[in-house]
Amino acid sequence: ETGVTQTPRHLVMGMTNKKSLKCEQHLGHNAMYWYKQSAKKPLELMFVYNFKEQTENNSVPSRFSPECPNSSHLFLHLHTLQPEDSALYLCASSQEDRSSYNSPLHFGNGTRLTVT
Amino acid sequence: GQNIDQPTEMTATEGAIVQINCTYQTSGFNGLFWYQQHAGEAPTFLSYNVLDGLEEKGRFSSFLSRSKGYSYLLLKELQMKDSASYLCAVKDSWGKLQFGAGTQVVVTP
C-alpha cells in the first residue's frame, strides 16, 4: 500500500459542478497539506492541517474548501471553479516536530484537474 | 520577498555528471530539501541539508553554503531513469517550505 493515496487521478469538471478530491495517508503522520502545481511554476501551498487543525490558508479562494475529519484523511471540496484552476493538485503528509525541521513531505500522485 | 531560483532545463548524456544549482533568498533558514518528480508521479524526497557541506547518498550528492544562499544537487553516472524534474525547497524561519519551479533533467543515450 502506497504511503499517500489520492483519488481520483484525473477529473474533468464544468465551472458549475461540485466535486471533491480525496487524500489518505497510511504513514501515521500528524500533518497534511494541499499543494497546487501548475506548469513551469513552483508548488503553491494551499492548506495545512496539523493534528486535524487548519494552521495555514494561503489566501486561497473560497471556491476551494478543505476538510480534515481525522489525521489520516483530507478532502478538497471544489465549487464553481474557473478554467485557470486547472492544475495538478498534490496532497502531502509529514511528521511535524517543533524541535526539528527535517521532516520531509511525502506526496501522493496527485489529481490532474481540468476545468472546462 | 522570498525567492528560490533554479535552471529550467538541463540535458546530459547517459553516464555523465550533472549539477543542478539552486539559489535562495528567504526569511530565515531551517534547511534545504531536494525532491525528484517523474512525469505524472509524486515528488519523492532525495536529500536534506541544514549545515554547510556535502551530503552523499549513492549516485546523488547535495551541497549547501548558507552564507552564499546556494545549494547544488549532483547526479553522477547518469541513467535514463534519472530523467525527471528536480525540485529545490527551503524551509524558512517560520517552518514554511518554499519551492523553486523545478529543473527538468533530460538524459540522452
Nearest CA in chain B to A58: B96
Q: Which A-chain residues 17-46 have CB contacts (< 8 A) with chain B?
A: 40-43, 45
pLDDT digits (tens, 9 = 90+) for A13-47: 998 889 999 999 999 999 999 999 998 899 999 99
| Distances, alpha carbon B37 to alpha carbons A70, B52, B69, B84, in Å | 28, 25, 23, 6
Which residues are B89's β-sheet partners?
Answer: B33, B99
pLDDT (tens place) for every residue of chain B, 109 residues total: 679 999 999 999 999 999 999 999 988 899 999 999 999 899 999 999 999 999 999 999 999 999 999 999 999 999 999 999 999 999 988 888 899 999 999 999 9
Q: How far apart are CA A77 and CA B15, in angstroms?
A: 46
Tell me: pLDDT of A12 over 90.
yes
User: Which residues on chain B place their C-beta less than 8 Å from a C-beta of chain A?
Assistant: 4, 8, 30-31, 33, 35, 40-45, 48, 50, 87, 89, 91, 95-102
The answer to whether the CB of A6 falls within 8 A of the CB of A22 is yes
| Distances, alpha carbon B82 to alpha carbons B67, B76, B88, in Å | 30, 10, 16
Q: What is the pLDDT of residue B70?
A: 97
| Distances, alpha carbon A85 to alpha carbons A41, A112, A113, B48, B85, in Å | 13, 11, 8, 31, 22
Q: What is the pLDDT of residue B16?
A: 97
Query: Is the bond leading into A8 cis (omega within 30 degrees of zero)?
Result: yes
